[in-house]
């Protein structure tokens, strides 16, 4: 993915938390955070299955929790890209887009949604309309998601810099998708609806909300491509492959559990790929009505 030389967002801030994460479990914890971030997988589920899902990534803690200037700049450019595209889309609809903030944190952070750590993983908080990203997630994504297949040559940041760029951008776009759902009032409607239905139906609504954020990420990718031609060969496969690897069905199988659709809260691999692709191919938010006929 091409990203250098474009405007960086001024809505990115850093928060230096005091929290320390030490010990052998850190790899698993951060992987869980990534799963949570990318695909909304429950961190506790992910922690139980993380090894199987990721093929047992290294747990070296020396390379964790370090964000480089490159990472910060990358986040600023991707967030700015989402601002440009969503301003455009809201304007076309005769509305005004309100930009979210993004806080890069290390260890621990407090938000309007409560305090969070790397174990929580990056997330979007509707209360302060802010995306929270743990800085270690870039390193972990490069090392553990195995997205572009060249993770083995531990040749330092320079070599690893390109690995999974677009998957990282997709993660940010997915979180911004939750912001868009908040601006459109969708998140509030889902929350209210979830109070009034059975657990199975509530889970289903949660799936549909996540799938819509995937679809919005696809819409963003398409519109940003029209705007700045940022995609390179293999980028889409990279995101689709990542989505396909981390659906709830795969997690359930990896943990030896039965695949029971009503227990899914975040969608199957196939659903995630389908909805991302739908947004990508249409470039239109109207194609992202995951809720139609839901209950
Ligand atoms: Zn999500």
Could you read off the pLDDT of 74-105 as tens digits, one per residue? 999 999 999 999 999 999 999 999 999 999 99
Question: In the 8-state DSSP scheme, what is residue 101?
Answer: E
Instruction: Compute, in angstroms, the gap from residue 23 CA to the centroid of ligand 1.
Output: 28
Instruction: Compute, in angstroms, the gap from residue 92 CA to the centroid of ligand 1.
Output: 25
Instruction: Compute, in angstroms, the gap from residue 176 CA to the centroid of ligand 1.
Output: 9
Instruction: Compute, in angstroms, the gap from residue 64 CA to the centroid of ligand 1.
Output: 23
Question: In the 8-state DSSP scheme, what is residue 100?
Answer: P
Q: Which residues constitute the domain of residue 216?
A: 12-286
**pLDDT tens-digit series, residues 17-43:** 544 433 334 444 444 444 445 544 444
265 touches 42 (CB < 8 A): yes
Question: In the 8-state DSSP scheme, what is residue 109?
Answer: E
Instruction: Compute, in angstroms, the gap from residue 234 CA to the centroid of ligand 1.
Output: 23
101 touches 128 (CB < 8 A): yes
Instruction: Compute, in angstroms, the gap from residue 170 CA to the centroid of ligand 1.
Output: 11
Where residue 55 falls among pLDDT bands split at 50, 70, 90? very low
Which residues have CB under 8 Å from 66's CB, separation 6+? 135, 136, 139
Instruction: Compute, in angstroms, the gap from residue 177 CA to the centroid of ligand 1.
Output: 8
Instruction: Compute, in angstroms, the gap from residue 269 CA to the centroid of ligand 1.
Output: 14
Instruction: Compute, in angstroms, the gap from residue 108 CA to the centroid of ligand 1.
Output: 20
Instruction: Compute, in angstroms, the gap from residue 174 CA to the centroid of ligand 1.
Output: 6
Instruction: Compute, in angstroms, the gap from residue 243 CA to the centroid of ligand 1.
Output: 12
Instruction: Compute, in angstroms, the gap from residue 35 CA to the centroid of ligand 1.
Output: 10
Crossing angle of helices 165-183/136-144, nearest 10°?
130
What's the structural domain count of the chain? 1
Pairing mode, strands 123-125 and 114-117: unpaired
Domain assignment present for 234: yes
Domain assignment present for 116: yes
**pLDDT tens-digit series, residues 138-177:** 776 666 555 443 333 333 333 334 567 888 898 899 899 9
Domain assignment present for 205: yes
Instruction: Compute, in angstroms, the gap from residue 49 CA to the centroid of ligand 1.
Output: 19
Closest CA to 17 of 55, 65, 52, 69: 65
Domain assignment present for 237: yes
Instruction: Compute, in angstroms, the gap from residue 168 CA to the centroid of ligand 1.
Output: 14
Instruction: Flag the least confident range among 8-17, 40-49, 104-113.
Output: 40-49
Instruction: Compute, in angstroms, the gap from residue 135 CA to the centroid of ligand 1.
Output: 18
The alpha carbon of residue 98 and the mean position of all alpha carbons in its chain are separated, in whole angstroms, by 20
173 touches 221 (CB < 8 A): yes
Instruction: Compute, in angstroms, the gap from residue 209 CA to the centroid of ligand 1.
Output: 8
The confidence score (pLDDT) of residue 258 equals: 55
Domain assignment present for 1: no
Instruction: Compute, in angstroms, the gap from residue 153 CA to the centroid of ligand 1.
Output: 31
Distance CA 220, CA 201 (A): 29
Instruction: Compute, in angstroms, the gap from residue 156 CA to the centroid of ligand 1.
Output: 30
> Across all residues in the chain, what is the average pLDDT?
75
Instruction: Compute, in angstroms, the gap from residue 185 CA to the centroid of ligand 1.
Output: 16
Domain assignment present for 188: yes
Q: What is the mean pLDDT of residues 41-54?
A: 38
Q: How far is CA 285 from CA 30, 96, 167, 174, 186, in A?
A: 31, 15, 20, 13, 13
Q: Is the pLDDT of residue 240 over 50?
A: yes
72 touches 105 (CB < 8 A): no
Domain assignment present for 294: no
Q: What is the mean pLDDT of residues 271-281?
A: 92
Q: Which two tokens stand for residue 159?
A: 């070599």
Domain assignment present for 219: yes
């Amino acid at each position: 993915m091409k990203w250098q030389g474009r405007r960086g967002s001024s809505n990115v801030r850093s928060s230096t938390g005091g929290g320390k994460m030490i010990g052998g479990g850190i790899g698993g914890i951060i992987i869980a955070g990534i799963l949570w971030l990318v695909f909304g997988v429950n961190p506790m589920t992910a922690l139980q299955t993380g090894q199987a899902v990721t093929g047992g990534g290294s747990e070296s803690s020396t390379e964790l929790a370090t964000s480089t200037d490159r990472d910060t700049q990358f986040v600023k450019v991707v967030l700015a890209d989402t601002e440009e595209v969503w301003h455009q889309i809201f304007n076309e609809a005769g509305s005004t887009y309100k930009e979210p903030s993004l806080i890069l944190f290390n260890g621990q952070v407090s938000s309007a949604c409560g305090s969070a750590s790397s174990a929580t993983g990056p997330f979007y908080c509707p209360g302060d309309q802010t995306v929270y990203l743990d800085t270690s997630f870039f390193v972990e994504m490069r090392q553990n998601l195995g997205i572009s297949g060249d993770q083995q040559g531990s040749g330092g940041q320079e070599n690893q810099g390109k690995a999974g760029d677009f998957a990282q951008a997709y993660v940010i776009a997915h979180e911004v998708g939750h912001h868009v759902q908040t601006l459109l009032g969708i998140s509030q409607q889902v929350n209210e609806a979830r109070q009034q239905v059975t657990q199975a139906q509530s889970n289903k609504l949660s799936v549909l909300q996540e799938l819509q954020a995937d679809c919005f990420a696809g819409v963003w990718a398409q519109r940003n491509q029209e705007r700045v031609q940022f995609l390179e060969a293999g980028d889409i496969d990279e995101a689709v492959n990542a989505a396909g690897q981390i659906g709830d069905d795969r997690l359930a199988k990896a943990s030896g559990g039965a695949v029971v659709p009503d227990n899914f809260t975040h969608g199957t691999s196939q659903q995630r790929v389908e909805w991302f692709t739908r947004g990508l191919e249409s470039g239109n938010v109207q194609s992202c009505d995951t809720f139609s006929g839901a209950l």
